[in-house]
Structure 1
């Protein structure tokens, strides 16, 4: 049984669902059985083949009905709508290693005994938001499929066309009540072929919508984690300055600071913290000042157990390591966001190009709505679903920009001028690292934000 460690467990439901619905994710499995791996590969391959075949049938139907302008526009919207699923399925299959690399970066993180409670709290908040997002997307996907089936059932099973024998007259022809207009090499209008085709389309619809949405959910989960880490760094900024203020009698060089901080491991800090007479973590977790810490240090100063700055050597090392922790944690978030952009950027570009063309055609179709009927519900359903897909990653990309922009403001407003020389140097490092906001781009062509959503919507 493979053990799952670290933060990958937080997004484990998403990974399991991606595996269940045919994505080519064969790592993060429960067993190392070769037969089980072979079955998973076979299942994903057959699933992908069935999806591609049905999509090819839809494209053939588009070509066959290209003479009528209205049919051409409607069929083009259908093709573009499901291009998302085809491209994302193929994209993940071709760039699986890049997704694994991003998950590995996510799973690699440092911690510090002074701020472990804050880190755990924000990790829990991130997990809670991920679960809520996953539930919301699952409910939305299921609702969309049910609405699709209901509209198909209540739709008129006949179509009015021009009579080929008499061009001045029209005639009605029977069309199969299927969820997606498609060409088939068999007669899908009656009997058992119709029921099998209906089941095939339902399976295809479930797979395509779920696969595309789960990949978007994974992307949003990464952004949620990055945002919560930035909030964690902002929350510990002021306590960090208060701690570093106790070092104002010492003015070491910056290189000496980081060399001293790296001299001990996290396990050593835990042991040292337990042996200290002053519980620094409780002071931080309760968000109180450090007067008690200073009183106990003054008592210890009389006994000669600590230095002239009121701290023992172990406490000095612990405080300085906290500064190093902040810098390394922020670098980890920057590296993680960079991996997200490299992994998902091209898929975002393809998504936005397809959505732009789809929304343009939907705007044309919306001008022909004359009443509240099946046609109007279909057009509005396509429109709402397409906008929701774009809004999903735009809202989280915008939050990433906002949280990363506020880090430098938090550093500058935390009374750094009252801190030690280490604190002043630390603020300089923070401001230098945070001059440019973190963001996700679509292959360097655009930045994912609410401004992008507004431009697409307009």
Structure 2
């Protein structure tokens, strides 16, 4: 059993992971107790959650098949059924393919940084962590607000349905239904008494757990993409300093300047440390980030007894410069593999999500044409519509950010002063431009690319299908 790892991406996603475990997701790793009674209790809790979620969804499907008598009722219950299908499919998908998620979570557990670029890497990692937690708080707040709104709407509506009289098709009769958040069929009488109270508690639990299952898995996807985007920003930021560093390999007097000025902070970080003073060495990160503003550390090789080469660098300093190029390439390869693992983990789930959302939005658009005023029906329809659109948009906006950031890497490589660099650096830039011609993307089982273009396509498909329904009506 895997122990808790508070470093790397797992540490950054720790709040999201804990919430997934608390809501009964089959995320059995990353616990302090690695086995024994703790593991048995976690298995029992996951199985209990699975049974409760599927039983209630089964009751919802039974209501659709047994209790709806006209097109309007069937459309309304179908929307609810499709809406919660997201939760059921994602919960099942994660349970069956958890190994892919573990692989993605473990992809960045080991610290993989270069002493010269540690400050930039740490800053962008902190930015990613801040964005992840802010997104988790926003989606968590929306989830809680959605449950509270659902309960509020429940008690504002009338617990009566107008149904066609089975004995006379030309007349309608009023049928009392339980005042519950979700219309569902039950093998017991849930209209009053203790059975009503217990059913209401069950539905309240199911409503919160279902929304949490879906939203927490969506948040994890967005966090993966955010982390990838910040790593790409880190690589773009260090390209120019990397070129200026490489110029020292072909020149006796290296370029000077504030190479590691943060893009937003404006602080200067020097490249080489105190030249071996105070017992330091060329690879000591404490010496690398000193307050000097030029390459005097590179030229101070005599102070530490090193051998000065024709370019004015000691052997260790020259190796450090060459290793910086290797670091960039290896880190970019890591990002590419990480994005590929995201697609492997989420591909089929994204495809099912978009297909289900398209059908749901089409039915919601049709139901919206029946809104005649400000009432419970209008509030429910608009709530479903905004929530479903938001679920699609949150995927697409982050997927589009990944495409834009990966595309801009090639522009950053061409814009840096590669012509002043060494021959190695010029070859390196050619390789970067070649490798970055194709943007990094996350696809839905190879059928589509997650981007704002996908959002526009879904919206266009909804409009088309809506017009067909209107004509058929």
TM-score (norm: length of structure 2): 0.87
2:217 aligned partner: 215
Equivalent residue of 1:115, what SS? helix
2:83–2:360 CA contact under 8 A, matched in 1: yes
Distance in 2 of aligned mates of 1:390 and 1:165: 44
Q: Distance in 2 between matches of 1:277 and 1:326?
A: 17
- Which one of the candidate residues 83, 90, 93 is aligned to 1:91? 93
Per-residue deviation at 1:292? Answer: 3.9
Structure 1 pair 185/433, CA: closer, same or farther in 2 (3 Å)? same
Matched, 1:194 2:196: yes
Q: Which residue of structure 2 lines up, in the alignment, with residue 349 of structure 1?
A: 351
Q: Does the aligned pair in 2 maintain the 1:405–1:434 contact within 8 Å?
A: yes
Q: Where do residues 8-27 of structure 1 align in structure 2 (5 Å cutoff)?
A: 8-27=10-29
Other-structure match for 2:281: 275
Give the alignment partner of residue 315 of structure 1, picking from 317, 322, 331.
317
Q: Distance in 2 between matches of 1:116 and 1:147?
A: 46
Match of 2:114 among 99, 112, 115: 112
Deviation at 1:172, TM superposition (A): 2.1
Q: 1: CA distance between counterparts of 2:376 and 2:91?
A: 30
In structure 2, the CA distance between the partners of 1:272 and 1:220, relative to structure 1 (3 Å rule), is farther
CA contact (8 A) 2:273 2:288 kept: no
Between 64-73 and 81-90, the greater mean CA deviation after superposition: 64-73
Gaps of 5+ in 2: 253-271, 461-473
When residues 190 and 411 of structure 1 are mapped into structure 2, their CA distance, relative to the original with a 3 A threshold, is same
> Structure 1's 276 and 34: CA in aligned 2 closer, same or farther, altered over 3 A?
closer
Partners of 1:21 and 1:312 in 2: CA distance? 57
Q: 1:427 corresponds to which residue?
A: 429
| Residue 441 (structure 1) aligned to one of 440, 443, 451 | 443
- CA gap of 1:270–1:249, structure 2 versus 1, over 3 A, is closer
Residues 259-298 of structure 1 mapped to structure 2, 5 A cutoff? 274-276=280-282, 281-282=288-289, 290=294, 292-293=296-297, 296-297=299-300
CA drift of 1:43 comes to 0.5
Aligned residues: 434
Local SS of the residue matching 1:171: strand
RMSD, matched Cα: 2.4
CA distance in 1, matches of 2:232, 2:241: 15
Query: Per-residue CA shift, 1:47-91, capped at 9, x if unaligned?
Result: 111110111111111111343111111111111111101100110
**2 CA distance for matches of 1:106 and 1:85?**
28
Aligned residues of 1:272 and 1:314 also touching (Cα < 8 A): no
TM superposition shift of 1:106: 2.5
CA contact (8 A) 1:113 1:270 kept: no
Q: Secondary structure at the match of 1:211?
A: helix
Inter-partner Cα distance in structure 2 for 1:113 and 1:305: 22
Cα offset, 1:108, TM superposition: 3.7
Name the one with the larger helix percent: 1
CA contact (8 A) 1:115 1:281 kept: no
Q: Distance in 2 between matches of 1:216 and 1:224?
A: 12
Higher RCO, 1 vs 2 (CA within 8 Å, ≥6 residues apart): 1
Q: Retained in 1: the 8 A contact 2:275–2:297?
A: no
TM (norm. structure 1) is 0.90
1:417 Cα deviation after fit = 0.4
